[in-house]
């Protein structure tokens, strides 16, 4: 745990394999081997004891090894920094696998201005956050940083005069002053049930962890139309696709037009290590030069840390007219580009040209 925190890992994988036990860290979005133990009987017993110890700390049932379980625990490093850890167990053919997600206990270190937005993108996002109502959507695949962006927005909105409620599965990073509600489907506490309850709690801001179904989508849209600022996420490729996804989920185009204020798409790119990156020329000219990873004791395979790239799409009359005219995702994307909206590829290329990341890292995360 201490070593994972030292390397800024987001996840620890403790997994049985045919030849023994393997431990891997996910560092800057990439799994890196940490250690492996051969499959001797004593070490297998040690693995079982380790799994049982972690499950006890996480409030899980150690006697249950045939069904997946979830739990959480708190870990404090020597530097007195506290980590809120989410633990997941999974029964596999070789034995029980554990994944520990390391989450900072607060978002005090996360500010919108530090996430990688350009000044114009940050201006558009803050304008949407300052609005009294409407829907702000953040899109992208799992692990692209949507949660950090959402919580950074909540931290900016968090004031004594603002009633903020969140419904999540699970609650990732509790914020003092924000009312967090965790989904419990076994008990009947689903996203739609929680949203209806929130609307009776006089909220100003509602954060929905994810819009997963038609009912959640429609309630979120209705809340955004009735005087609430609603923040949520969708799994789509880019910002224009999110608008079409809402329509496919049964939300009328006219309601999408009236409720949505802004859509963002994002990815996280690894940053090149400042101590060992190497400049190379392209096309035989020194004017067109990029940097490539090398690797040194201060980094992991030539990279250190990550930075976001974003596509910010404010709702406009032109986009609304296209939606009402049943435009396709491609047509919306072309219209957004014509109006000056930066694509994810263009946002990433800016970082490549500045020597912050590599071409390979951009290609790994964005279709180019």
Domain residue ranges in the chain: 2-104, 112-365
Percent of the chain exceeding pLDDT 70 equals 93
pLDDT for res 142: 86
* The two three-digit tokens of residue 123, written as one number: 């201006």
- How far is residue 242's CA from residue 248's CA, in Å, rounded to a whole number? 10
> What is the rounded average pLDDT for all residues in the chain?
90
pLDDT at residue 131, rounded to an integer: 96
Q: Inform me whether the pLDDT recorded for 234 exceeds 90.
A: yes
Of residues 307 and 78, the one with the higher pLDDT is 307
Q: Tell me the mean pLDDT in the region 151-167.
A: 94
Which residues, at least 6 apart from 190, have a Cβ–Cβ distance to it below 8 Å? 183
pLDDT at position 18 is 77
pLDDT at 291 over 60: yes
Distance between CA atoms of 356 and 368, rounded to whole angstroms?
A: 18
Nearest to 179 by CA among 190, 169, 171: 171
pLDDT at 293 over 70: yes
pLDDT of residue 340: 93
pLDDT recorded at residue 107: 47
* pLDDT value at residue 150: 93
CA distances 211 to 37, 91, 97, 220, 301, Å, are 41, 29, 29, 8, 36
Q: What digits encode the pLDDT tens for the residues 121-143?
A: 999 999 999 999 999 999 999 88
CA distances from 78 to 83, 117, 157, 293, 346 (A): 12, 33, 32, 31, 41
User: Could you check whether 2-104 and 112-365 share the same CATH topology?
Assistant: no
Residue 331 parent element (H or E): helix 329-338
| The pLDDT value given to residue 220 | 95
Residue 42's pLDDT is 62
Range name among 1-10, 212-221, 224-233, 337-346 with the lowest pLDDT average: 1-10
Residue 268 in this model has a pLDDT that exceeds 70: yes
Q: Work out the burial of residue 105: count CB atoms within 10 Å of its CB; fewer than 13 is exposed, 13-18 middle, 19 or more buried.
A: middle
Nearest-10 Cα torsion for 104, 109, 111, 116? -80
Q: Is the pLDDT of residue 330 over 50?
A: yes
The pLDDT value recorded for residue 368 is 62
280: which residues sit within 8 A by CB, 6+ positions away? 289, 290, 291, 292
Apex CA 212: angle with CA 207 and CA 216, to 5°?
60
Q: 2-104: which CATH topology? A: Beta-Lactamase (3.30.450)
Higher pLDDT, 145 or 107: 145
- 52 pLDDT higher than 60: yes
Per residue in 92-107, pLDDT tens? Answer: 988 899 999 998 654 4
What does the pLDDT read at residue 283?
A: 61
Q: Answer yes or no: CATH 3.30.565.10 is held by domain 112-365.
A: no
Instruction: Give the mean pLDDT of 336-351.
Output: 95
- Angle at CA 34, nearest 5°, toward 32 and 39? 120
Any idea of the CA torsion for 322, 325, 328, 330, to the nearest 10 degrees? -30
- Model confidence pLDDT, tens digit, residues 163-188: 999 999 888 788 889 999 999 888 99
């Amino acid at each position: 745990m201490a070593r994972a925190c030292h390397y800024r890992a987001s996840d620890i994988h403790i997994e049985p394999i045919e030849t023994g036990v393997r431990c891997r860290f996910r560092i800057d979005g990439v799994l890196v081997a940490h250690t492996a133990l051969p499959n001797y009987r004593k070490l297998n017993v040690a693995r079982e004891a380790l799994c049982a110890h972690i499950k006890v700390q996480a409030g899980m049932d150690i006697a249950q090894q045939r069904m997946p379980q979830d739990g959480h625990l708190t870990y404090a490093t020597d530097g007195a920094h506290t980590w809120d850890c989410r633990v997941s167990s999974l029964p596999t053919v070789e034995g029980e696998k554990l994944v520990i997600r390391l989450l900072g206990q607060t978002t005090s270190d996360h500010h919108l201005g530090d996430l990688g937005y350009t000044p114009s993108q940050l201006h558009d996002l803050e304008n949407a956050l300052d609005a009294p109502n409407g829907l702000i959507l953040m899109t992208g695949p799992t692990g692209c940083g949507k949660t950090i962006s959402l919580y950074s927005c909540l931290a900016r909105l968090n004031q004594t005069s603002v009633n903020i409620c969140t419904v999540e599965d699970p609650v990732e990073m509790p914020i003092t002053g924000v009312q967090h509600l965790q989904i419990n489907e076994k008990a009947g506490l689903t996203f739609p049930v929680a949203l209806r309850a929130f609307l009776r709690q006089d909220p100003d801001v509602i954060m929905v962890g994810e819009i997963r179904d038609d009912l959640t989508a429609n309630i979120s849209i209705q809340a955004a139309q009735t005087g609430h600022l609603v923040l949520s996420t969708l799994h789509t490729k880019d910002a224009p696709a999110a608008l079409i996804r809402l329509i496919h989920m049964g939300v009328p185009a006219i309601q999408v037009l009236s409720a949505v204020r802004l859509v963002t798409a994002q990815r996280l790119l690894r940053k090149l290590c400042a101590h060992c990156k190497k400049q190379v020329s392209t096309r035989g000219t020194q004017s067109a030069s990029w940097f490539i990873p090398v690797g040194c004791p201060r980094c992991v395979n030539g990279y250190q840390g990550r930075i976001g790239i974003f596509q910010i799409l404010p709702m406009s009359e032109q986009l609304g007219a296209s939606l009402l005219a049943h435009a396709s995702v491609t047509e919306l994307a072309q219209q957004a580009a014509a109006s000056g909206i930066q694509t994810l590829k263009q946002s990433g290329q800016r970082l490549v040209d500045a020597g912050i990341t590599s071409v390979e890292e951009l290609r790994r995360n964005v279709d180019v």
